[in-house]
């Protein structure tokens, strides 16, 4: 199964693609879609949408997994993040991919074993789990890979338990 993990952000949106059944995950690609804060919101959203569509076209994932919104941010940030998640989900829906969502604590726990792990810990464990020789340059990319790993692990457990 090929999993596209997405870490939505209003300035930087991370993506990570892995192949795996949960027990063994193999790195395919990762990166970020960066937009300029000086551009209009509509232009930034369109750029993110196109970027996600390009990733889907290149990677051909089977499913997409998103990290849920962290709720302790301010209202303006939450609104912008909601817009970004919306265009990312629209791109995924256009590609007819199933969508899964995991809380930040679920993602961190799946990768590090601790739901309050710091970004550096998540990044280090992503590298260890995927046997990467170098760390992704951006935390957003390693966070997206963590979301993909979380889905692969979760999907494997659900499949083993006969849950659909």
What is the CB-side half-sphere exposure of residue 29 using CA atoms within 13 A? 12
* Residue positions counted in the chain: 164
Is 67 among the catalytic positions? yes
What is the CB-side half-sphere exposure of residue 4 using CA atoms within 13 A? 30
Q: Please pick, among 7, 106, 138, 143, the residue that the annotation labels catalytic.
A: 7
Q: Tell me which H or E stretch contains 132.
A: none
- Among candidate residues 160, 154, 140, the one with its CA nearest the CA of residue 65: 154
Q: Please pick, among 106, 138, 140, 143, the residue that the annotation labels catalytic.
A: 140
Q: Please pick, among 21, 39, 54, 67, the residue that the annotation labels catalytic.
A: 67
Residues that are catalytic: 7, 67, 140
């Amino acid at each position: 199964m090929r999993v596209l993990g997405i870490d939505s952000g209003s300035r930087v949106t991370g993506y990570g693609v892995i192949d795996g059944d949960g027990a063994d995950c193999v790195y395919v690609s990762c990166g970020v879609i960066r937009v300029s804060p000086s551009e209009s919101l509509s232009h930034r959203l369109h750029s993110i949408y196109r970027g996600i569509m390009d990733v889907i076209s290149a990677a051909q994932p089977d499913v997409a997994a998103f990290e849920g919104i962290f709720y302790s941010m301010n209202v303006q940030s939450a609104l912008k993040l909601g817009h970004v998640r919306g265009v990312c989900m629209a791109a995924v829906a256009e590609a007819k991919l199933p969508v899964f969502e995991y809380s930040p604590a679920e993602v961190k726990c799946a990768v590090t074993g601790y739901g309050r792990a710091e970004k550096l810990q998540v990044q280090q464990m992503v590298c260890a789990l995927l046997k990467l020789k170098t760390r992704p340059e951006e935390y957003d990319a390693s966070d997206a890979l963590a979301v993909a790993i979380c889905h692969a692990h979760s999907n494997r457990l659900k499949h083993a338990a006969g849950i659909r």
